[in-house]
Structure formats: structure tokens, C-alpha cells
Amino acid sequence: MFAFHVTHTDGAARRGELRTPHGVVQTPAFMPVGTQGAVKGVTHRDLVACGAEILLGNTYHLYLRPGGDLIARRGGLHRFIGWDRPILTDSGGYQVFSLRGRRTIEEEGARFRSHLDGSLHMLTPEKAADVQAQLGSDIAMVLDECLAYPATEAEARASMERTLRWARRGRDRFLAIRQGRAPEVHATNPGQAQFGIVQGGVFPALRQESARGTVAVGFDAYAIGGLSVGEPVDLMYDIVEETTPLLPADRPRYLMGTGTPLDIVESVARGIDMFDCVLPTRNARNGQLFTSRGKVNIKNARYAEDDGPLDPACGCYTCRHFSRAYLRHLFVAGEINASTLNTLHNLNFYLDTLRAIRESLTFGKFRSVRDELRVRFGSDA
């Protein structure tokens, strides 16, 4: 049920289609982050209206609350949250590694205390596969170790090698579930695919070794992890550029946790097909809006009497109906609607940007879309 084919290319950039048990995703694709089974501030109908074709769910949060068992009894995450389009789940690793002072990493896995009630848990490559099987996402991610930045080459090597060992264990468990050899796991999506993750920090030789090792394990597709964690943006672009040729051309490539509109177009130019990021949603809740004319900080006093739309070039509900003055008022007054209307717009902007990128790849205009995004977001992204 999982299939990918490229329909157009422009240099390393490609346009394609990803088939999943819950439908087709046009690539390059951006996945809004639905942390706890909901994208903060917007309902599913808004995501559909924005053109979101795939959501990302966070396994760490869903595992702790309401729990993988409960979701499996509901028939899986799609049915539980009422979203019938594709879902990708992360492994839970990133959130666990972010629990500084509340987690230790061992060869077996990551031991951590829940941020909710302090209870002790162990996230292993096998457990990450099990919980995602319960959730029944269309794409599961293997558990990797998320290296902090900066790290020495020795630290990065040790971490990358552990990630490779975990990759083999995670893949074995995934295949055991898929082949019916783990009947104790209540899997809810027989067509689930699993992506491997390339690590190696900012060291090209390690990235190369990681890519080769991960591809050798044999996943359905591959992601690049451990970027957008504080390294200079040019270094990130370089690593993406050096890594994508090492990944199979007939599989989608997913750059995890990235990024600004500029990061996205620059990564597409280097062969990336899938993205996720909290930037459009989190920034929206903080009043930071992306527009065709660049960024807008809606709480700025200059918008208090601005009767124009947030983005005259945007066709979203927010821009069609409300003024900057009203959006500023809602934000300053702390109204829930500020989060809703701002998130709606930012997601629309991101998904419009991805649509423009895809169209440009079809019609040989990728260069002009890339240049425009460089002008809009090059200086302050």
C-alpha cells in the first residue's frame, strides 16, 4: 500500500506522489504537527480547507495520554481523532531526549519520567514500534538518538552508531509485527510503513556512514534527523545536500523538524520531499505571521488601526474576513480566536507555499519560486 513515484524533477528537486493506506500525498509535502491528536487552535475541517494531506502525531504525548492501548481499542489514531487522511507518527524519541534531567539513555533505550505525573517509562526501539503499531499511523518512524548541538565528533560517532543498532532492532520489531509474529501488539493499520533516520551530527563522514548503514537495514523510506537543532543554516543546507544523494532516489526523503519557508525551498532544491515543523503553528499562537510580503508581528502597535487584510495575496478565511486591526486586538486581548485565526493563516501560507513549489516543478518554474522566497524570508528567517 506504500508507494512513491516522482513525476517531475528540476536538478535535485522533485515533485511526486506518495501513496498510503489513507490516501495520496502530493510531494514536496508539509505536515502540520498535531501533537496530541489535534493541531493546536484549528479543527480538522480547517486543515482540510488549507489543503493539508497528512498530519504528524507525537507518539510520546499520545503514549502517555490517552495511551496506545486506549487508542488501539478505539481502532487506531485515525478513528480516535476523526481524521481519515494519512498520518505520520514520530518515534517519541525527540520529546524524550528533550526531557533534560528527567531521562537517561542506555543501550537498551531511553529511560524517562513522564512530564505529566513523574511515572517511570522506558522507550526502546521495540516499544516505539509497538506503540506506533497501536496508533496505526500510515508512516512510523524508527527510534533514533537525537544528538544535541554542538557535539564532538566522538560523541556524534557514538550516537550515530547507537542509532544504527537501534535501527536494526526497530526494523526487526516492525517486521515481526507486520508478519504476525508479535500477536501481543494490537496493530491497527496493516499497511503501515516505517522510515529509517540518518544521523551523524554536522560531520559529513558520519552522515555518509549513517546513510549507508540505515539504507542497508532496509526501510520503506528515509529521513534526515538531527538538523534544525541550532546549527548554522548554511551548514544544515550543506548536510542535506550531501546526504540526499546517498538515499534511494525512488523513495521519499523526509527532513525532520524543518523549518522556515526558506529552509523548505532550499531543502527541496537539495532533494527533500517531506517536512514537518511547529513553526507555523507555534509562531501563530505567538502572533508571528508569515505572509507573501514577509513576516508580520501582529502585536505591533503599527497594526492597531490597519484596516487591510493580513496578507492581500492570501485567500484563507482569516485574510478574507478580518483586518490586521482586529487580529491585533484579538491577540492583545488574549482571545482564543487569535490562536485560531493566526494558525489558520500560517498553515494556509505554508501549504500554499508547498503548492506553489509543486506547481513550479511541474511547469519548470522552480527557480522563480525559490528566488521569491529568498527575497521574502532570506534576511530574517
Cα(311)–Cα(347) distance, rounded to whole angstroms? Answer: 13
Name which of 44 and 102 has its Cβ closer to a copy of itself. Answer: 44
Query: What are the distances in angstroms from CA 189 to CA 3, 50, 75?
Result: 16, 26, 9
Indicate the pairing of strand 23-27 with strand 13-20: antiparallel
Smallest distance, Å, CB 42 to a copy of itself? Answer: 8
315, exposed or middle or buried, with CB in 10 Å at 0-12, 13-18, 19+?
exposed
Smallest distance, Å, CB 20 to a copy of itself? Answer: 21
Name which of 50 and 264 has its Cβ closer to a copy of itself. Answer: 50
Smallest distance, Å, CB 52 to a copy of itself? Answer: 15
For residue 3, give the 3-state DSSP assignment. strand
Smallest distance, Å, CB 36 to a copy of itself? Answer: 5
Name which of 250 and 335 has its Cβ closer to a copy of itself. Answer: 335
* Backbone phi, psi, residue 203, to 5°: -105, 110
- The 10 Å CB-count burial string (b at 16+, else e) for 103-116 is bebeeebbbbeeee
Smallest distance, Å, CB 288 to a copy of itself? Answer: 17
Which residue(s) pair with 6 in the sheet? 16
The active-site residue out of 130, 220, 273, 276 is 276
Identify whether 263 is a catalytic site residue. no
- Which spans of this chain sit near a copy of itself (rule: CB under 8 A)? 36-45, 61, 65-66, 70, 73-74, 80-82, 304-305, 307, 317, 321-323, 325-326, 329-330, 332-333, 335-337, 339-341
Name which of 235 and 304 has its Cβ closer to a copy of itself. Answer: 304
CB 8 within 8 A of CB 361: yes
For residue 371, give the 3-state DSSP assignment. helix
Name which of 40 and 113 has its Cβ closer to a copy of itself. Answer: 40
Q: Which of 143, 142, 153, 148 is nearest to 227 (CA)?
A: 148
Identify whether 138 is a catalytic site residue. no
The active-site residue out of 90, 220, 263, 311 is 90
Q: Residues with catalytic annotation? A: 90, 276
